[in-house]
Structure formats: structure tokens, C-alpha cells
Amino acid sequence: MDDIDDFTEETDAFDAATARLTVDLAALCDNWADMAERSGSARAGAVVKADAYGLGIEDCGGALYAAGARDFFVATPDEGASLRPYAPDARIYVLSGIWPGTEATFFGNDLVPVIASEEQLAFFMALSAELGDYPCAIQVDTGFNRLGLSVDEAMMLADDASRPSSFSPVLVMSHLACGDDPANPMNRKQLESFRAVSAAFEGVESSLSSSAGVFHGPDFHFDLTRPGIALYGGEAVSGVANPMRPVATAEARILTIRHAKAGETVSYGAAHTLTRDSRLAVVAAGYADGYLRAGSGAGVPLRTTGIPGQMAFVAGHHVPLLGRITMDMSIFDVTDVPETAVRAGDYVELFGSNIALDDVARAAGTIGYEVLTSLGLRHERRYLF
């Protein structure tokens, strides 16, 4: 038993993992610095909701704080509480706002609620009248039709002389509906609406742009920008080369390499028929790991559109996925990789520096945001500084 214990201690969990994820925190911080520079005179915040887009709010948040970020955005108060020890004097905004029963989490962790509705506004004003001055942000809906006071409601609030003196918002914000499409006239329409609201809240900082809006230039920057997907290496603007460094690398182990004959079929539904004698690498990555089934090489509706399925990278070669992605495994064609260059136990890259995150997303008919936030719990993680 002692020998077994010694062996276990010496085994590196990352090297032993069937699925693993490398997060390059230096690249993350470089991307934030890039977005800060693009934000011009505006401060650059950092959106770390959804566990920092699936990459780990503690490690990513701490690295971004060390890089200079002092304004963070999370989705829920629990996320804010998780972040607080790693960003000790930062301002942490909670995008879902405040509801009865969450007050202790907000006040105990110095979190700033983003007031997103008339109901939340009434509740927060009552709290302010009872407990005194506490910062908040005001979300304004300028055309998204999701969260926020209407423009008219926001203007009335700005002019409301009867509101409690303890009610003192520190930020007014909105969100672009079509920010990833610079030519869409909706962007300018929202900008003009938000300018009016921003002017009405004189002396209060303003924020309109997430990652995509930062690329639209100074008109959209205001006082504070909110980069998210760009920090994690994803595309922010459609049809434009992505200038960000890749941050996440997902890999999975080859469980076996099998030989199959031309005419045989591969995976569920016999969806792919081999046209040549082939070598097939069975890889430990499936939809339970966030490797979306819609990206299968065959046998799913998206393949009828002409969009190709997923690729992986191994031994210097891009290799196609064959048939359907299953819960725990996928099958790649390594016939064109020299037999001596790849073997069972090796790892294939699913996305990273050789397979772009957003190419993986396109193969599955989705966006990089979903690919990252769908990562399963089975990836052993390593953080590089």
C-alpha cells in the first residue's frame, strides 16, 4: 500500500487526465491590456461572469486584478462573493441586480447591484432609505428588450427630486444588441438614446460597450468599457480577423487507434461510411465535456448545410471528426498522420493555438461564448502565468 501511495503522489494529475484544459493567464492579461488601450480614455473593466466564461473566476479574476482591472462584472451575487477575495478593493457589479434575500451577500461582500427593473428599483430605494447610502448601477434598455429601465423611466428617475438622498448611482449602463455587426444601424440608434440618458445623469459614470463596442471607437467608450469574450481569446466582431491571443487550450487523450476497412461505418447511426482503409483515433471527449454534439462530422442537421464538422490537431496535422460525437468519446481520422507520429495515450487539441475557438463554435452552429461556458467538470486544469 505504501508503494501505491507513493506512486499516486508522484503522478501528475494533468499528465494523467483524459481531458485537460490549459488556461494561459499571461495571454488573458495581455488581452485585457489590449482592450484597455483600445478603450482610449475610458477605463477597461473585466466581465468574469459564468465562472470567467468557464475558465475559473478565482484564477482569472485574480490575474486580471493583478494586471490592473478594478471594475468587474458578474452575473450573480454568489459569483461576486467568490471573486471578492481575489479582487480586494475592486468594484464588483452584479448584472442580475438585487432581490429580497440577497442583501447579506451584497452588503457582506461590498457588491454593487445593477438595477435592472422598476421592481428592483423600488426595493433598492426602500433599502437605501432604511440603511443609508449604498452604491448601485442603473441598467437602461436602449433597444435590446432584455433588462433595464426604459429610456423614459430612466429620464424620469434622473429628474425625480423626490428620490431618497441616499440613492446615489455610481454608473448608468446599457448594452448593444448588434455590437458584433459594426454596420448595423441599431448601434447608432442605441448610442443616441444612451447619450441622452448619460447626459441626464450628470456626474454619474456611463458604460455602453462590451467587447464588440470597444472596437467601434471612442463614440462608444464613455467612461467605462466592459470587455468579456475578447479577454478570453474569442471573436468580438463578426467577419473581422480576431486580434486577441488564444487563452484556453482544450485537449483530450486518444484512448485507442483502430484500423477499419473502406465501406465500414463509424459511430452511432452508421452516419459516416469510410471511403478508404482508415486509422481511427478514439478520443476521450464528448458532449458531457462540453464538446457539442452539433459539431459532429455526420449525422446531425448542421452537416446538411455544407458547413464542415469539427477538426482536431495532433502531431502537426489537422484531422477531421468522423460520425457523431457521443457522450464521452469522439472519433477522428488520423489516416494521414504517420503511424509513428501518433499513438494511444497521446493528446489531440480540440481548440487552442492550432484550432481556433470560434472555428469550433462555427462547426457546431454556435458562438465561442457557448463553447467556453459549456466546458464540463472533467477537464483537469492547469494555469500558466
Mapping DSSP onto H, E and C, the string for the chain reads CHHHHHHHHHCCHHHHCCEEEEEEHHHHHHHHHHHHHHCCCCEECEECHHHHHCCCHHHHHHHHHHHCCCEEEECCHHHHHHHHHHCCCCEEEECCCCCCCCHHHHHHCCEEEEECCHHHHHHHHHHHHHHCCCCEEEEEECCCCCCCEEHHHHHHHHCCCCCCCCCCEEEEECCCCCCCCCCCHHHHHHHHHHHHHHHHCCCCEEECCEHHHHCCCHHHCCCEEECCHHHHCCCCCCCCCCCCCCCEEEEEEEEEEEEECCCCEECHHHCEECCCCEEEEEECCCHHHCCCHHHCCCCCHHHHHCCCCCEEEECCEEEEEECCCCCCCEEEECCCCCHHHCCCCCEEEEECCCCCHHHHHHHCCCCHHHHHHCCCCCCEEEEEC
CA 149, chain centre distance (Å): 26
Residue 268 annotated in active site: yes
CB-CB neighbours of 145 under 10 Å: 9
Report the candidate in 139, 109, 103 with the shortest Cα–Cα distance to residue 124.
Answer: 103
Asked whether 152 and 116 are in contact (CB, 8 A), the reply is no
CA distance 357 to 232: 10
Residue 189 annotated in active site: no
- Active-site hit among 134, 261, 268, 347: 268
- The CA dihedral of 104, 108, 109, 110, to the nearest 10 degrees, is 100
Report the candidate in 208, 331, 350, 205 with the shortest Cα–Cα distance to residue 264.
Answer: 331
Task: Determine the straight-line distance between the first and last CA of the chain, rounded to whole angstroms.
Answer: 36
Which amino acid is residue 307, in one-letter code? I
- Active-site hit among 49, 53, 232, 347: 49
Q: Which residues are catalytic?
A: 49, 268
